[in-house]
Amino acid sequence: MRIALDALGSDNCPDPEVQAALQAASEFKDEILLVGPENQLRPKLGSQNGSSAGVQIIDAPEAITMEDKGLKLALKAKRRNAKNSMAVGIDLLKNNQADAYITAGNTGGALATAYYRLGLIKGLERPGLTALFPVKDGHAVVLDIGANPDCKPEHIYQFAIMGSIYAQKVLGVKDPRIGLLSNGEETGKGNQLVRDTSPLLEASTMNFIGNIEGKELFGGQVDVAVMDGFTGNILLKSSEAVAKLLIDTLREELMSSFRTKLGAAMAKPAFSVIRKMLDPAEVGAAPLLGVDGLVFIGHGRSNAYALVSAIRVARQAVEANLLSAIRDAIEEQLISQPELEAS
Amino acid sequence: MRIALDALGSDNCPDPEVQAALQAASEFKDEILLVGPENQLRPKLGSQNGSSAGVQIIDAPEAITMEDKGLKLALKAKRRNAKNSMAVGIDLLKNNQADAYITAGNTGGALATAYYRLGLIKGLERPGLTALFPVKDGHAVVLDIGANPDCKPEHIYQFAIMGSIYAQKVLGVKDPRIGLLSNGEETGKGNQLVRDTSPLLEASTMNFIGNIEGKELFGGQVDVAVMDGFTGNILLKSSEAVAKLLIDTLREELMSSFRTKLGAAMAKPAFSVIRKMLDPAEVGAAPLLGVDGLVFIGHGRSNAYALVSAIRVARQAVEANLLSAIRDAIEEQLISQPELEAS
């Protein structure tokens, strides 16, 4: 198995990437392809642990940065001979030189690069950006979290197929429970898009449990939650912001007196559980579902530990043949869709 | 000033309502009209504090309950001679027998009853359900949180007008900063609805600071956040669910060992701040903006303390002439709208 890792992804790149590549190569015995400027990476690779066994540098002298957007980003993502580490890394997938690609860089950049260079899985209309949300006693697969601000019912239907396959194949959930995020659980509730999507999911063979609200999602009652990319993005960012507000306020209050400081010190193990629950490093990376190749996107704040987790997730997807499973599921759905529409 | 209070609103009604009515009448020296079944309320009123000074019972033998929905709810809300405590209470506004109406009952019921019996402020297209969100160092006015799952840009524009007036008149914010919730702060980001709404707000005389994400809202960078009712409802319920997940997990972990229990006991003042921040009782009630009368909706879990807070908020709205201020602002906007559309 060959896993390609963007050396220019994380906020502190390339050190966490170099370290993660070496650790993963040693831990998993896979070949790690570290994609970035060879002249920068070579000395670092030599200097870490005194060994670069299992890590191969793929030269990519340029980068897509967090500042790239709009036309400039599109050009960097699309250009045939692009030398940035996303284009070079994703081309490895296209040319069967790598089985999965991981980046902790610009999400829009990874999306655009993968979309232009790999295309979509046949029969699929839109790719879905995915996140693993911490929920009660586990995680839920949530998509789309921002690739498609405006969706049609068929897009959300396909997100459900992909999310369900991902939960099955990579997270090991037997019969993933799927929920459609709405403003109320009753059928018939929702905006027009939800009211049009709900019947498609009802008529499918998927384990659709119905419309859900935040309490079902964060209460751990579904394995997969689907929605349009605008709603998903608001859900993701607002959840992060609420968590931050609570934790910051609590921290401030705990530091406000000697007594509460002491109490906080004693209660530290409990706070560590919360920190771990909210730490993106624990999840490692989430897949960009729907493009015709295995692309995983990690958090910009990823450290080496997070990147090794990301590599672990990517390996599981490769081993589980995630891509063919999604291809098959989408093809199957295409055949059965006329019936769905008639029902 | 006469404030009408639904005696059949809260989950534990009517005891919290009776208590709140007596407290408010004594604290504010206003007349409180307690709307509910006289035969039930009369004995309770006598038995509390030995005095019913300032509290008048308005007989309404029936109720709109949390189970009422759909056609049944519409009939209860609409029927001319309806005897439920929402219809009777809201008719007091219509007949100038009360200045504001407060209920902690079925939100959809209050919305429907107010909409059918009071109608909308002239020139207004949709009412906006409002919530006060706890944010860094204060609160933000958020609307629509669910009255209108499908909105047009003009509706959101009018939500901004009403939210801005509310923040000014009732919360005392000088020049309220208004944000449009979106999946990214840059102009041009957003779904179609946001991209169409943003220019209307830009062209207005309101203090529109642009598109915002969850971090600006919860970080306290706006006084008013506007969005369609589907998005607002998801925002509200997901935020509540995230907060609950965090608090529940923390509580569980804190109770898991003697050491953390002791730490938690010492750090209690800090936790109390968080509890207070998230307690809907602190806010009291949020206005249903846009109907032609002052209607406030409190949380179902409201206790007497929360209901007194609600009455306090309603009084401020009456004193500030909120309704005429909104009427004037909407009229003004109607006159200037052609220019807006041309810009």
Q: In the predicted model, is pLDDT for residue A342 greater than 80?
A: no
User: Which residue in the set B229, B235, B274 is minimally distant from A238, CB to CB?
Assistant: B235
Average pLDDT, chain B: 92
Q: In the predicted model, is pLDDT for residue A205 greater than 80?
A: yes
Say what the pLDDT of residue B333 is. 80
- Mean pLDDT along residues A200-229: 96
Q: Mutate which of A191, A196, A228, A258 to test chain B, going by most B C-beta atoms within 10 A?
A: A191
Q: Identify whether the C-beta of residue B56 lies closer than 8 Å to the C-beta of residue B32.
A: yes
Q: At what angle do helices A70-78 and A85-94 cross, to 10 degrees?
A: 40
For A194, the domain range is 132-279
- Mean pLDDT along residues B47-65: 82
Say what the pLDDT of residue B190 is. 94
Q: In the predicted model, is pLDDT for residue B232 greater than 70?
A: yes
Q: In the predicted model, is pLDDT for residue B123 greater than 90?
A: yes
- Mean pLDDT along residues A8-28: 95
Instruction: Please check whether residue A211 lies inside any domain of the structure.
Output: yes
Q: Do A233 and A142 reside in the same domain of the chain? A: yes
- How do residues B201-231 score in pLDDT, each as one tens digit? 999 999 999 999 999 999 999 999 999 999 9
Q: In the predicted model, is pLDDT for residue A343 greater than 50?
A: no
| Beta carbon pairs, A and B, within 8 Å | 201
Q: Do B220 and B317 reside in the same domain of the chain? A: no
Q: Do A20 and A62 reside in the same domain of the chain? A: yes
Instruction: Please check whether residue A334 lies inside any domain of the structure.
Output: no
Single-letter residue type at A331: E
Q: Do A163 and A241 reside in the same domain of the chain? A: yes
User: Which residue in the set B181, B242, B273 is minimally distant from A234, CB to CB?
Assistant: B181
Within a 10 A sphere around the Cβ of B113, how many other Cβ atoms? 32
- Mean pLDDT along residues A322-342: 77
Q: In the predicted model, is pLDDT for residue A337 greater than 70?
A: no
Q: Do A144 and A111 reside in the same domain of the chain? A: no
Total domains in chain B come to: 2
Q: Find the CATH number of the domain harbouring A309.
A: 3.40.718.10
Say what the pLDDT of residue A46 is. 79
Say what the pLDDT of residue B221 is. 98
Residue A258 banded pLDDT, cuts 50, 70, 90? very high
Q: In the predicted model, is pLDDT for residue A130 greater than 90?
A: yes
Return the beta strands (E) in chain A as ranges. 2-6, 31-36, 55-59, 100-103, 128-135, 138-143, 178-181, 208-212, 224-226, 285-289, 295-298
Q: Do B153 and B18 reside in the same domain of the chain? A: no
Name residues 139-158 of chain A within 8 A of B (Cβ).
Answer: 146, 149-150
A107, two tokens: 């999400």
Instruction: Please check whether residue A285 lies inside any domain of the structure.
Output: no
- Mean pLDDT along residues B12-40: 95
Say what the pLDDT of residue B342 is. 42
A21, two tokens: 């590549």
Q: Do B28 and B139 reside in the same domain of the chain? A: no
ipTM of the prediction: 0.90
Q: Do B188 and B204 reside in the same domain of the chain? A: yes
Q: Which residue has the tokens 């911490």?
A: A134
Within a 10 A sphere around the Cβ of B136, how many other Cβ atoms? 16
Dist. CA B243–CA B251, nearest whole Å: 12
Say what the pLDDT of residue A154 is. 96
Q: Is the CB of B66 inside 8 Å of chain A's CB atoms?
A: no
Percent pLDDT > 70 in chain A is: 95
Instruction: Please check whether residue B118 lies inside any domain of the structure.
Output: yes
Q: In the predicted model, is pLDDT for residue B179 greater than 70?
A: yes
- Mean pLDDT along residues B81-92: 97
Name residues 229-248 of chain A within 8 A of B (Cβ).
Answer: 229-231, 233-235, 237-248
- How do residues B132-178 score in pLDDT, each as one tens digit? 999 998 999 999 999 999 999 999 999 999 999 999 999 999 999 99
Sign of the C-alpha dihedral computed for residues A24, A25, A28 and A33 taken in this order = positive
Say what the pLDDT of residue B227 is. 98
Q: How far is A247 from chain B (nearest CA, A)?
A: 9
User: Which residue in the set B182, B229, B241 is minimally distant from A214, CB to CB?
Assistant: B241
Say what the pLDDT of residue B11 is. 94
Say what the pLDDT of residue B160 is. 97
Name residues 190-209 of chain B within 8 A of A (Cβ).
Answer: 190-192, 194
Q: Do B63 and B7 reside in the same domain of the chain? A: yes
Instruction: Please check whether residue B184 lies inside any domain of the structure.
Output: yes
Instruction: Please check whether residue B257 lies inside any domain of the structure.
Output: yes
Q: Do A138 and A271 reside in the same domain of the chain? A: yes
Q: Do A302 and A169 reside in the same domain of the chain? A: no
DSSP B302: -
B22, two tokens: 């007596």
Instruction: Please check whether residue B285 lies inside any domain of the structure.
Output: no
- Mean pLDDT along residues A33-47: 91
Determine, for residues B238 and A233 on separate chains, whether the beta-carbon distance falls below 8 Å: no
Q: Do B53 and B178 reside in the same domain of the chain? A: no
Q: In the predicted model, is pLDDT for residue B338 greater than 80?
A: no
Characterize the bridge pairing of strands A55-59 and A138-143: unpaired
Query: In the Cβ-directed half-sphere of B197, how many Cα atoms lie within 13 Å?
Result: 27
Determine, for residues A243 and B240 on separate chains, whether the beta-carbon distance falls below 8 Å: no
Q: In the predicted model, is pLDDT for residue A339 greater than 60?
A: no
Instruction: Please check whether residue B343 lies inside any domain of the structure.
Output: no
Q: In the predicted model, is pLDDT for residue A25 greater than 90?
A: yes
Average pLDDT, chain A: 92
Please name the residues in contact with A342: beta carbons below 8 A apart, sequence gap of 6 or more.
none
- How do residues A64-95 score in pLDDT, each as one tens digit? 998 998 889 999 999 999 999 999 999 999 99
Walk across the sheet containing A31-36 and list its strands: A55-59, A31-36, A2-6, A100-103, A295-298, A285-289, A128-135, A138-143, A224-226, A178-181, A208-212
- Chain B environment of A240 (Cβ under 8 Å): 214-215
Which of B181-195, B267-281, B284-298 is the least confident region?
B267-281
